[in-house]
A and B are shown apart, each in its own frame.
Chain A
Amino acid sequence: MISVRNIYKNFGDLHVLKGVSSEIQKGEKVAIIGPSGSGKSTLLRCMNLLEEPTYGEIWLDDQLLTPADPYLHPEVMKASRTYQKLLAEEMAKAESGVKAEELSAKLEQELIRRIKEEDLLNEKHEGSEYKNLLKQIEKENRVNVNLARQRVGMVFQHFNLFNNLTVMENLTLAPVTLKLQSAEEATEKASALLKRIGLYEKKDEYPNKLSGGQKQRIAIVRSLVMNPEAMLFDEPTSALDPEMVGEVLELIRELADEGMTMVIVTHEMGFAREVATRVLFMDGGQIKEENTPEEFFGNPQNPRLQEFLSKVL
């Protein structure tokens, strides 16, 4: 469903993500845990392009959200002048009689790795074949990011309900503005969802009249009105009073039980263990361990994870 391919994210000199790859299958519930500053929120925000990865690709099924990354496409790399130059150098070194194709096949990975490590690629001087191949990939697969975002809901740590709109307007704004649903359809769907979480009588209130737990549940429902195929949760309970955490987790658990694909960045270890089908541990901008919750919590391998769990559990 969501495919993260070797993404890097730099904020200036700060390297937040250093080569992260992960496949999130339909129906999976993936929890991402890790110390603060480990890049887990950035990874989540990259999944719907709220952060644009510096390198790497994000795919939503067969739709490419980011620009195509040449390093992930060997045929593009092989068309680049830099690669051709390196290959020619190798050819000169090799014994006579070796064919260019054979050498290329043998050294392909090695050369691409070298280009990447030494940062030899210069977009401007790689020739038209290279450029056309990249363009071709983007033309065939890349979608408007706004369209992709309609398919993936996002819930924020600080709720981010629209302060200038009532609860009902918050829920119906996106589907109606984007002409995905008529005003009546959206209102009906929103009403049903509000009734489900017991907040229907708040439909004409403004967000600042609500408690944190109510705001977060409404923020979740706001995503649901869009009929998303997957949901991203960015520390959904971190900004809540302790007594309100339960009601929000309960709603997320219900969604999980209904089969929603979800990725949750969380500090609620108990919740991750119970709801997730897979847990990722991030540290220093990389996924350090990835396993089923039983193995992950019961038999952690990575020393940093063992240390982390001993502190938080």
Chain B
Amino acid sequence: MTIQSLVTKWNMFFDTFLNKGGYKEVLTGLLNTLIIALLALVLGIIIGTIIAAIEVQPKKYGAWGKTLAVLKKISGIYVAFFRGTPMVVQLLLGYFVILPLLGINLSSIVVATLIMGLNSGAYVSEIMRSGILSVDIGQMEAGRALGLGYGTTMWKIIIPQAVKNILPTLGNELISLVKETSVVSFIGVVDLYKAFRNIGSGNYEYMMPFLVMAVIYIVIILIITFALKMMERGLRASDKR
């Protein structure tokens, strides 16, 4: 392939991107990608933390013990489903099977966020569980001995320390969420991938759009990595390290 043809390809891409308004779609796509990934992570952390807090509870007797056993069963099934099927399958199931069956109308971007959040929750629950277990049992005992409840101690003492321990792993989760948004176009959401694909499909010239797309993905991930490092440093204020 000659330099000449590469320059031609670049000019074609640049023309579509700038002069024919392709950048607008890319911006929309970028925004969608980031919004879906971030909201999904937030949802995932909320679901994951709740599940982890249920999972780490010791076996109890009485009425609460029975509720707990049921909750553990449910969370077990949930985690098994979302870890056991591909994300694409979950998106398709959610959008084309579950919603029509329930007769609910939701925009595809909302469905994408929900499904990715649920998917992420299954993974975050395991991450959070290991984080909670990494905190010394004495911290929980000290809280309980002062008269604080299980939930309060969990929320104010254990989870902050657990999050600090698992922040690098949670960062990984955000990064993989950003990358995995590239499958949401299966249910018609315009994300970064779809935007560049649309630019390319105008003249069947995909080389430059996909190259630029890859660069943008890398830049996003690098920015997130940097931000996470900063955040971790802040959280380590209570450490000697």
Contacts and interface: CB of A to CB of B under 8 A. Distances in A.
Q: Do A and B come from one complex?
A: yes
Interface residues of B, number: 22
B238 A226 contact: no
A160 B238 contact: no
B143 interface: yes
The DSSP consensus for interface residues of chain B is: helix
Nearest to A208: B240
A200 interface: no
B147 A174 contact: yes
A147 B147 contact: yes
Contact of A163 (B144, B146, B148, B161): B161
B147 A226 contact: yes
A48 B146 CA distance: 10
Given A50-B144, A154-B145, A156-B142, A177 B161 contact: no
Contacts of B240: 208-209
B148 A206 contact: no
A206 B147 contact: no
Interface string A182-218: 0000000000000000000000001111000000000
Given A160-B139, A208-B238, A48 B149 contact: no
A142 B2 CA distance: 87
Interface stretch (B76-84, B111-119, B152-160): B152-160
B238 A163 contact: yes
A79 B66 CA distance: 28
> What interface size band does chain A fall in?
20 to 34
Interface in A129-187: 146-150, 153-154, 156, 158, 160-166, 173-174, 177-178
Interface string B126-152: 000000000010110111111111001
Q: Which of B138, B142, B143 has the most CB of A within 10 A?
A: B142
B164 interface: yes
A223 interface: yes
Contacts of A223: 146
Contact of B142 (A160, A164, A226): A160
A162 B147 contact: no
A40 interface: no
A49 to B, nearest CB: 9
Nearest to A207: B238
A222 B146 contact: yes
A177 B152 contact: yes
A146 B148 contact: yes
Contact of B147 (A158, A160, A178): A178
Contacts of A158: 136, 138
B145 A149 contact: yes
Interface string A95-114: 00000000000000000000
Given A146-B149, A177-B152, A223-B146, A160 B160 contact: no
A103 B164 CA distance: 67
A148 B148 CA distance: 11
B147 A156 contact: no
A155 to B, nearest CB: 9
A153 B145 CA distance: 7
Given A154-B146, A226-B147, 19 more contacts: A148-B147, A153-B145, A153-B146, A160-B141, A160-B142, A162-B143, A163-B139, A163-B161, A164-B160, A164-B164, A165-B238, A173-B156, A174-B146, A174-B148, A177-B152, A178-B148, A207-B238, A208-B238, A222-B146
29 contacts: A50-B141, A50-B144, A50-B145, A146-B147, A148-B147, A149-B144, A153-B145, A154-B142, A156-B138, A156-B141, A156-B142, A158-B136, A158-B138, A160-B138, A162-B142, A164-B157, A164-B161, A164-B164, A164-B238, A165-B238, A166-B238, A173-B148, A174-B146, A177-B152, A206-B238, A207-B238, A209-B240, A222-B146, A223-B146
The 4 closest A-B pairs by CB, nearest first: A150-B147, A160-B142, A154-B145, A160-B138
